[in-house]
Structure 1
Amino acid sequence: MIKITADSTCDLSPEIIEQLDISLMPLHVLINEEDFRDGIDITPKDIFRYVSEEGKTCKTAAVNVFEYENLFKELSPHYDAVIHISLGSGFSSCYQNAKIASEQFDNVFVVDSSNLSTGSGHVVYEAALMAKKGAQPEEIIKHLEEIIPKVDASFVIDTMEYLRKGGRCSGIEAFGATLLRIKPSIEVVDGKMIVGKKYRGNFDRCIVNYVKDRIENNDDIDYSRVFITHSYCSPETVQKVREAIEQYASFEEIIETTAGCTISTHCGPNTLGILYKRKSKK
């Protein structure tokens, strides 16, 4: 039997987590230096309230080596192997810390997803499906190494205020974006976040144009699955995105999930992305 574990940043739904028996390791959310555990002591809605209504500073922190050691110590004796899929090493020291912790165990393997949110979620999901079907650890790890470079992850954000508060853009940039109603897309490229195309105008219109840009006439898409992952966008907005996806592409599976505290901390409310796999590595 193989156990799949992941950092809480993979943003899979509670239903998927339960169905595939995935164990999550919560990252830390620090609000005015008070420590909360992602998804356990705090939710994205709490973060939006702290930041927007109370003006508090919010940031995230990696899981430390000791915490990973405790997780692996608990699980390792009960499984043939434990495969832990971490938040991308370009975003956090989680991977490095998990790797150090795993060295004490012969049957614990740590995989760098090189991604975040359901970009990592694709990797976790596939690992858990393979484990459920009885695949060997070596098979699973080899498959994950093949798909990691193929994951296409991007988001559009409605406000740059959270990026500004997190020190990821200047006040002038955030003010200018608000004034011009710019909604930037954030893309994960080579394990790092970059600013992609900038949309302008109403969020719903921007998000539909973003979906069209990502998938219309794109012959490099693996149509097996796409995640719509968002930080509490309205049901109407999500439905428009779903309809746009169905208009421009034919995915076998469209899965909606809610972004956890990490994406919500850095990008704020009304952030939405479509995340899928490509056929080729880029």
Structure 2
Amino acid sequence: MSDLKIAWVTDSTACRSEGIRNNEDVYIVPMNILIGNKEFKDGVDLFPEEMFRLLKGNGADAKTSQPSIGIFQELYTNLQEEYDHIFSIHVSLAFSGTFSSAQQAAQLVDIPVTVIDSKILSYPLTKLILDGMEAAEKGLDPAEIEKFLEAKLNTGKTFVMVGSLEQLHKSGRMNGLSFFLGSMLKIKPILLIEDGKLQVEEKVRSIPKGYSRMRDYLDHALQSKNIKEVYILYGLNKEEADAWVADLSGKYPEISFSSHELGAVIGVHAGENTLGISWFAE
């Protein structure tokens, strides 16, 4: 049984749920958001509602950037005075270089640091941290916890219906021709995030159609997988996300559904009306 004191480090793409927001052993490193000529720290001095207000009011573009190696090195160095081990779990390497910054910083400190590419973002990333903390409480040592988390993250699947083609285009995730055609036809792409990679699953022309397709994806997954929890992800449209939760809870009473905010950094790329569905299979 392990009695090591473990610190849990993540970045601000993780959903700040109750379980990590008020936990003294969890440390969230903010991503950077640049709007116009002003830089903000995600979740520190800029939150989704204010960010979208600034984008609308100023007509400015927003850009995001990862924390530096130095930021992680300083945090790890400070943590080694109080902790025996650090788990540093971050947004998918396919979306950001944050994992690489953390990995390089881990080589520069004396405390052992296990750096994990979550292959995901938002609440599923938070869920990995919560499950890792639970595994540690059960007495698993760091190597066992890492093995457990790596196995879990490889069962994850997420579908996201992008709320703004314009934001997706500005962020560099969609080329000019696709943006033009999508805007003209009022198309909403549904993106699949699986094994850390992003791809267009299909294109729909309305939110109701997108929701119908996401229910189909869940139905299909349930034919061969045991899924106990499903997460609805949203930009600013919490009421719509909660309506999805209520509807899905009625259809699948054996599954626990919950809604979670995507956050400002993800909103920069996807837009405030984004909706998604995510799960890990047992």
TM-score, normalised relative to structure 2: 0.89
Report runs of 4+ in structure 1 exceeding 4 Å deviation.
Answer: none
Candidates 89, 93, 98, aligned match of 2:93: 89
Contact 1:233 1:269 in 2 (8 A): yes
Distance 2:81 2:165 in 1: 46
Distance 1:3 1:220 in 2: 36
SS at the partner of 1:88? coil
SS at the partner of 1:229? strand
Aligned to 1:198: 203
Residue 106 of structure 1 and its aligned partner are, at CA, apart by 3.2
CA pair 18-255 structure 1, distance change in 2 beyond 3 A: same
Contact 2:84 2:111 in 1 (8 A): no
Deviations 1:86-118 (A, max 9, x none): 111121111111111111233221111122222
Contact 1:122 1:151 in 2 (8 A): no
Contact 1:185 1:199 in 2 (8 A): yes
Contact 1:228 1:254 in 2 (8 A): yes
Aligned to 1:119: 124
Residue 255 of structure 1 and its aligned partner are, at CA, apart by 2.7
Aligned to 1:153: 158
Contact 2:20 2:126 in 1 (8 A): no
Contact 2:231 2:257 in 1 (8 A): yes
Aligned to 1:229: 233
Equivalences for 1:15-34 in 2 at 5 Å?
15-21=18-24, 22-34=26-38
Aligned to 2:56: 52
Deviations 1:125-168 (A, max 9, x none): 21122234443211211101111211112211222010122222
Contact 2:156 2:194 in 1 (8 A): no
Residue 9 of structure 1 and its aligned partner are, at CA, apart by 0.7
SS at the partner of 1:71? helix
Aligned to 1:244: 247
Unpaired stretches in structure 1, ≥5 consecutive residues: none
Residue 247 of structure 1 and its aligned partner are, at CA, apart by 4.2
Identical positions, percent? 27
SS at the partner of 1:264? helix
Contact 1:20 1:129 in 2 (8 A): no
Aligned to 1:101: 105
CA pair 18-50 structure 1, distance change in 2 beyond 3 A: closer
Contact 2:189 2:203 in 1 (8 A): yes
CA pair 251-31 structure 1, distance change in 2 beyond 3 A: farther
Distance 1:234 1:88 in 2: 24
Distance 2:228 2:160 in 1: 20
SS at the partner of 2:242? helix
Q: Is residue 2:166 matched to residue 1:166?
A: no
Q: Is residue 2:71 matched to residue 1:71?
A: no
Distance 1:159 1:97 in 2: 29
Distance 2:263 2:271 in 1: 11
SS at the partner of 1:42? coil
Contact 1:30 1:59 in 2 (8 A): yes
Aligned to 2:143: 138
TM-score, normalised relative to structure 1: 0.89
Aligned to 1:212: 215
Distance 2:180 2:126 in 1: 33
RMSD of aligned alpha carbons: 2.0
